[in-house]
Amino acid sequence: MSARTVSPALAFAVAALGIGLFSIMDAFMKSLTLAIGVYNALFWRSLVSVGFGAIAWKAGKSGRPTRKALRLHAMRGGVTTIMALLFFWGLARVPMAQAITLSYIAPILALLLAAVVLGERVGRRVVVASVAAFAGVLIVMLGQSRAALGPQAFEGACAILVSAVLYAVNLVIARVQAQAARPGEIAFFQSMIVVALLGLAAPWLAAFPPVGEWPKLVIGAGLATASLFALGWAYAHGDTGYLATTEYTSFVYAAVLGWAVFGERVSVWTLGGAAVIVAACLYAARRRDIAQAALEAAA
């Protein structure tokens, strides 16, 4: 991979685009999960994604992956499989805006992990922000209990929180992976590994989706592939902590799509918890030297 040669602002914009595409895909996946179950929704969408990923890989002229890249593909694919199953299972049980809000703890966790794994600088503010973000999660969960959404909603929220921890790991792997492989290669191999892992249970769980669900599967797969391509490119050109803040743009998509497609309303508790978590994450990531360091690395 070549050295970074673009501005941090462009990398941020491309990452935000990737998050937007992924958020729209979430709406398709929620609909599919409710219709055919989380396993079949993820398995068949990922199978279609392999085809899109192969096109992106060939178009990118990446060549054969290195051994290091293959290890990273396998690692991220494994984490992604468990993360996605948990997230989409939970998403089918809680409102989209609430699910996205709970996943917002991932950027702070990514900052902590990036400090340990990648050596990226993290100060005391991250500790303060982590406590504040946890308080935001408690606000959302308190609102859920007061809304009496039922035990399934609580179980869904817990699944999403565990998925968020795995997503933080995913973000850090993505940063390393983006330095070892091109976006098209990442999109193809991640989808292929997810299919391979889910395929182990196919003899017992796989069921061919109804014809009416295939347009959603194809669109969802296209959105997922485009998102992986955009995020892979962005993380090759920017710091993890800096780009992780693009996650917060997904709240708007989740709130609008949840209301328009599923008739979900955003509660005051979810808005309050989201505000606390986002403020905490932005506080943790607000380092004056981030943009300058990225520019120097590009020079």
Does the pLDDT value for residue 283 go beyond 90? no
Hey, what are 127's tokens? 């500790």
pLDDT in tens, 92-114: 998 898 888 888 787 777 777 77
pLDDT of residue 148: 62
Task: Look up the pTM and report it.
Answer: 0.79
Highest average pLDDT, of 206-210, 256-260, 281-285, comes from 206-210
- CB-hemisphere CA count at 13 Å for 58? 6
pLDDT in tens, 134-190: 788 888 877 766 666 667 888 898 999 999 999 888 888 887 887 888 877 887 888
Contact criterion met (CB below 8 Å) for 177 and 232: yes
Q: How far is CA 244 from CA 98, 114, 256, 298, in A?
A: 19, 11, 22, 19
pLDDT of residue 290: 36
